[in-house]
Every structure is written in structure tokens, then in C-alpha cells.
């Protein structure tokens, strides 16, 4: 069963300085499916609990909720939350055992990936030298598997669909960096924190001296676009999708125009 956007939108009245429109794709007695915008935390920051987060918005709307997985602050896309302990336990077990679960992302990579598809099977663990950063490590890491296929190629970039079979922190970012194709924009693992038109349209690009170039995409080039699992009560296979947001779409538009 595929569900389409959008059933409702939360406009939080208490977020008057930094309004976030959280799209609720689907909700019933057991689950809530949201399309998280970029630059919004999944859960409260442990060092700054007053920062806005998806879980805080949902709690204000629905009461107690149960967290099943997370997206990095800069990553947009699909998240599922449980409304009760039964749904939380059931879906958590599905995620742990990877039975019929799909978590598929669009990732724009730096460089031209020539393989049509493949897998990256390398253990990921914390980088002891850099707090908050992960690394490939056989001694400290946990088994991590990412499957991928090329969706579109450009002159200097590749758009892939990445299906994570394990849920390690920064998994896609670390895995593609380790094979030489980091995300096109990634301040922690890539070569640049944002992408400009001048990065794509290298020849013939002109900008007046008085004009400051603004980035097309000023965040990690990663979007969680599909999530599939078995509904905890009905036993039906459900699948949800969210198209890339405006910044990602604008970037792809410019790549198709100038980056081929």
C-alpha cells in the first residue's frame, strides 16, 4: 500500500522566529509518518533541550510518541514514529531484523560513479580523535551494509539511490566517502559544505563584483525518500514516499541544464 502526500501540516505557534512546516504524510492509531524538512532536529539536542525538534512538535500535537529512528539535522525526508508501545516494539524488531524493511535515500555524490549498482559492506564506528564523527574501523565498528544503484549521472556528480540495511550513524556519508565518492556537499565528510552554480557551470559563469553568489544547496546532499515496513497491527506491507524538497530539486534542475 503506497501512501501519497500530504494529509496535514503542523504549523507550530510556539516557533515564531523559525517557522517549520512539518508535513504529516500519514497517521493512524499506531504510527505517524512525517516528511522532515532540512535543518530540523529529529529529537531534542542533549546540550540544548530548548531547540525545536520533530519529536517536540509531534508530542505537542499527539501526546506521547515513541522514537524509532532518526535523520541527521541537515537530512530531509521520511521518518516514522510510534504512538504506542505495541507499535514501537513491533517496528523496532522489524528494523533490527531487516525483515521487509526498506530505507531508501537520494544521495548526490561528488564524482562519476561508473558501477550501475553495488554494495558497501564496511564496519562503522566512532572516530576517537573527532567527537561526533564516524569512521570505517574493523576494531571499533559495527557491521554496516549499504546497497546502491545509480539513478542519474552528470559530468562531475552522480545521483544514487542508497538502501541502508543497517542503521549506523552517518552510514551513507561514511560509506560513500570510504569508496572515494563523498556526498557533493557535506561539511563533515566531503570536500565542501555547500554547492554553488559556479561549481556546476564552470565555463561562462560570470558574477558582478557587487554580487555575492548564494549556494543552490547549503546542506548535506541527502534525502530519505522511501520507507517501507509491515504495519504493526494490520500486518499489511506499507510504503511511504516524499519527493525531494525545493533545494534538492533546484540543484538537480541546474545539474540537468549545465552539468551534463
Q: CATH number of the domain at 26, please.
A: 3.30.2350.10
Confidence of residue 20 (pLDDT cuts 50, 70, 90): low
E strands of the chain, at which residues?
A: 2-3, 8-10, 22-27, 31-36, 66-67, 76-82, 102-110, 117-121, 124-126, 134-136, 145-153, 157-164, 222-230, 237-241
Residue in this structure with the C-alpha cell 540537468, named with its chain if needed: 256
* pLDDT in the model for residue 108: 98
Confidence of residue 129 (pLDDT cuts 50, 70, 90): very high
The strand pair at 124-126 and 117-121 is best described as: unpaired
- Looking at the predicted structure, is the pLDDT value of residue 11 above 50? no
**Catalytic sites, residue numbers:** 72
Q: Note the pLDDT tens digit of each residue in 185-216.
A: 999 999 999 999 888 887 766 766 778 889 99
Tally of structural domains, the chain = 1
Confidence of residue 1 (pLDDT cuts 50, 70, 90): low
Q: What does pLDDT average to over the chain?
A: 90
Domain residues for the domain of 209 are 2-258
Counting residues of the chain whose pLDDT is more than 70, the rounded percentage is 90
CB 61 within 8 A of CB 10: yes
The strand pair at 31-36 and 66-67 is best described as: unpaired
Amino acid at each position: 500500500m503506497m501512501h501519497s502526500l500530504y494529509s496535514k501540516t503542523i504549523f507550530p505557534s510556539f516557533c515564531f522566529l523559525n517557522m517549520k512546516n512539518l508535513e504529516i504524510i500519514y497517521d493512524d492509531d499506531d504510527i505517524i509518518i512525517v516528511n522532515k524538512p532540512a535543518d530540523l532536529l529529529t529529537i531534542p539536542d542533549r546540550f540544548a533541550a530548548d531547540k525545536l525538534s520533530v519529536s517536540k512538535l509531534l508530542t505537542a500535537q499527539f501526546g506521547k510518541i515513541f522514537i524509532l529512528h532518526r535523520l541527521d539535522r541537515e537530512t530531509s525526508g521520511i521518518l516514522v514514529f510510534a504512538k504506542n508501545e505495541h507499535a514501537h516494539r513491533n517496528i523496532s524488531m522489524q528494523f533490527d531484523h531487516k525483515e521487509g524493511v526498506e530505507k531508501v535515500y537520494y544521495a548526490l555524490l561528488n564524482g562519476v560513479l561508473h558501477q550501475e549498482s553495488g554494495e558497501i559492506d564496511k564496519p562503522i564506528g566512532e572516530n576517537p580523535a573527532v567527537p561526533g564523527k564516524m569512521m570505517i574501523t574493523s576494531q571499533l565498528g559495527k557491521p554496516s551494509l549499504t546497497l546502491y544503484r545509480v539513478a542519474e549521472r552528470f559530468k562531475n556528480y552522480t545521483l544514487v539511490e542508497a538502501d541502508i540495511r543497517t542503521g549506523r550513524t552517518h552510514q551513507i556519508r561514511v560509506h560513500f566517502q570510504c569508496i572515494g565518492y563523498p556526498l557533493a556537499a557535506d561539511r563533515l565528510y566531503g570536500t565542501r559544505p555547500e554547492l554553488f552554480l559556479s561549481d556546476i557551470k564552470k565555463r561562462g559563469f560570470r558574477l558582478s563584483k557587487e554580487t555575492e553568489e548564494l549556494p543552490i544547496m547549503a546542506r548535506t546532499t541527502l534525502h530519505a525518500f522511501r520507507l517501507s515496513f509491515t504495519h504493526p497491527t494490520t500486518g499489511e506491507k506499507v510504503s511511504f514516499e516524499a519527493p525531494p524538497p525545493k533545494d534538492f530539486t533546484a540543484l538537480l534542475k541546474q545539474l540537468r541544464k549545465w552539468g551534463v
